[in-house]
């Protein structure tokens, strides 16, 4: 049974006051709050087990290495990868995508080739591909979306052709909430020999993943959006692709043998984990995954979708408020503007009322350009949000509108 009150007790920050008001946190799309299980695990690790991994013969190093590799296996199972060697720990999804954009493109992208990205991507799934195409003399193509936030699937056959080498697409838009149907995109890409890079930052939190089953070639996620620590992320890649790519960074742990004549590299996954890994973050991410699984991915999704419906209906009743992203399949994100107001001003007034939302372009400026605006307000829902909090948000917006108009 999904017990919202019990869940809220697991997140201590939800009990604090902001500006003499009870905190209402609708910014989980930027970073989720952390349950006690993750907080206490991090404290325990630093108090009892802190030691560098992989190269130590002493007890603490061995124990931390064991915990680190257990976390890798936990991630592997959660995202649905077939082999632990396909799970690379990084500093975040941005690092994961940049790793692929550099290392994959070194050998697989040539002058005259093209990469296709969707119009709704986060900057982290646009800029690295711009850099790669500029470096290699390739073309960057854009798969647009319509005003409802649905990708233009009718353009797939035109945009993805024999010179397409990679398609970069989100599993769930961080701005519109759209969860595009990736099956036809993957099928079209694979039919011409292209690979697919999926941004799973929002998707993995809301029922995404199943990377092998769905045919993803690469998949990136960030731990801090999945109720885990900051500074830890994951790159999944099909083993044959990772084996063929050169290392992204050089240093300790990613080497087999080093001489001035030649260096050979460690096998996967260490080949891409140069330097001291964020072992505390990795173990913390594993703990967050265990927490999510303990509650139940389907139960969380059902609750969040209910709160999304309540929020969409309530905010739609506010005069002059426009919601951006009305696709049939959405993760629990509601982005909006209100006639006669600036998103920043709305966000500032809400903060004075103890309500946390995100304002601005949300690292998705092409989305703003599509709608001819400079920014939006975004309310993003976590497992701990309630109907009462939706009402607090709505009344706060109504108050902001009265003050600003």
14-36 mean pLDDT: 98
CATH number of the domain at 183, please. 3.40.640.10
306-325 mean pLDDT: 98
32-40 mean pLDDT: 98
Distances (CA, A) of 192 to 49, 234, 237, 288: 49, 27, 19, 38
Q: Indicate if 329 and 266 belong to the same structural domain.
A: no
Q: Indicate if 168 and 315 belong to the same structural domain.
A: no
Distances (CA, A) of 252 to 63, 65, 311: 20, 15, 49
Q: What is the pLDDT of residues 141-169, one digit of tens each?
A: 999 999 999 999 999 999 999 999 999 99
Q: What is the pLDDT of residues 365-389, one digit of tens each?
A: 999 999 999 999 999 999 999 999 9
307-334 mean pLDDT: 98
Last residue of a domain, one of 272, 293, 314: 293
Ramachandran angles phi, psi of 18, nearest 5°:
-130, 120
pLDDT score for 325: 98
244-247 long-range contacts, CB within 8 A, separation 24+: 244/107, 245/100, 245/103, 245/104, 245/106, 245/107, 246/103, 246/106, 246/107, 247/103, 247/271, 247/272, 247/274
Residue 405 in this model has a pLDDT that exceeds 90: no
347-367 mean pLDDT: 98
Task: List strand residue ranges (DSSP E) for 15-144, in order.
Answer: 17-18, 21-22, 24-25, 87-90, 114-118, 139-143
Q: Using 50, 70 and 90 to split pLDDT, how confident is the model at 55?
A: confident
Is 357 domain-assigned? Answer: yes
- Alpha carbon distance 202, 385 (integer Å): 17
Last residue of a domain, one of 237, 272, 293: 293
- Is the pTM higher than 0.75? The answer reads yes
Tell whether omega for the bond before 101 is within 30 degrees of 0, i.e. cis: no
- Alpha carbon distance 246, 284 (integer Å): 29
Distances (CA, A) of 340 to 17, 313, 361: 30, 21, 18
Say if residues 325 and 173 touch (Cβ distance below 8 Å). yes
Q: Which residues pair with 355 in a beta bridge?
A: 24
Taking alpha carbons only, the member of 150, 206, 196 closest to residue 176 is 150
Q: Which residues are catalytic?
A: 363
Is 35 domain-assigned? Answer: no
167-195 mean pLDDT: 98
Q: Indicate if 317 and 245 belong to the same structural domain.
A: no
55-60 mean pLDDT: 94
Number of domains in the chain: 2
Last residue of a domain, one of 251, 278, 293: 293
- Alpha carbon distance 296, 34 (integer Å): 17
Q: Indicate if 189 and 64 belong to the same structural domain.
A: yes
Taking alpha carbons only, the member of 175, 165, 169 closest to residue 143 is 169
- Alpha carbon distance 272, 27 (integer Å): 31
Say if residues 349 and 403 touch (Cβ distance below 8 Å). yes
Q: Indicate if 76 and 57 belong to the same structural domain.
A: yes
3-state secondary structure of 23: coil
CATH number of the domain at 302, please. 3.90.1150.10
Distances (CA, A) of 403 to 272, 329, 400: 53, 34, 5
133-139 mean pLDDT: 98
* Residue 356 parent element (H or E): strand 355-356
pLDDT score for 5: 97
Q: Which residues pair with 164 in a beta bridge?
A: 114
Full domain range(s) for residue 125: 40-293
Positive/negative CA dihedral, 187, 190, 194, 199: positive
In whole numbers, what is the pLDDT of the chain averaged over residues? 97
């Amino acid at each position: 049974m999904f017990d919202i009150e019990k869940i809220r007790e697991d997140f201590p920050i939800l009990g604090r006051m902001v500006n003499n008001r009870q905190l209402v946190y609708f910014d989980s799309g930027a970073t989720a709050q952390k349950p006690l299980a993750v907080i206490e695990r991090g404290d325990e690790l630093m108090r009892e087990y802190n030691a560098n991994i992989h190269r130590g013969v002493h007890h603490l190093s061995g124990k931390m290495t064991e915990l680190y590799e257990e976390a890798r296996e936990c991630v592997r199972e959660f995202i649905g990868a077939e082999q632990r060697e396909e799970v690379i720990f990084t500093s975040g999804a941005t690092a994961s995508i940049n790793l692929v954009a550099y290392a994959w493109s070194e050998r697989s992208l040539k002058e005259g080739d093209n990469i296709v990205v969707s119009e709704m991507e986060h900057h982290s799934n646009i800029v690295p591909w711009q850099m790669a195409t500029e470096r290699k003399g390739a073309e960057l193509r854009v798969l647009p979306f319509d005003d409802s936030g649905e990708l233009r699937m009718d353009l797939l056959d035109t945009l993805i052709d024999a010179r397409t080498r990679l398609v970069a697409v989100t599993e769930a838009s961080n701005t519109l909430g759209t969860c595009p149907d990736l099956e036809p995109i993957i099928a079209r890409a694979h039919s011409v020999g292209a690979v697919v890079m999926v941004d799973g930052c929002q998707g993995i939190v809301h029922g995404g993943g199943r990377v092998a089953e769905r045919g993803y070639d690469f998949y990136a996620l960030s731990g801090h959006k999945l109720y885990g620590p900051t500074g830890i992320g994951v790159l999944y890649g099909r083993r044959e692709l990772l084996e063929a790519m050169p290392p992204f960074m050089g240093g300790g742990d990613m080497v087999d043998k080093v001489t001035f004549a030649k260096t050979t590299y460690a096998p996967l996954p260490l080949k891409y984990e140069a330097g001291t890994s964020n072992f505390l973050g990795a173990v913390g991410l594993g703990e967050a995954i265990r927490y999510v699984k303990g509650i139940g991915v389907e139960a969380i999704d059902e609750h969040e979708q209910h709160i999304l419906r309540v929020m969409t209906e309530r905010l739609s009743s506010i005069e002059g408020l426009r919601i951006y992203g009305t696709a049939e399949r959405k993760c629990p994100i509601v982005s909006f503007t209100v006639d006669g107001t600036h998103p920043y001003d709305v966000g500032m007034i809400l903060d004075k009322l103890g309500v946390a939302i995100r304002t601005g372009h949300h690292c998705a400026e092409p989305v703003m350009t599509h709608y001819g605006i400079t920014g939006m307000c975004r309310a993003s829902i976590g497992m701990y949000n309630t109907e009462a909090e939706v009402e607090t948000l709505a009344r706060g917006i109504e108050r902001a509108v009265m003050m600003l108009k």
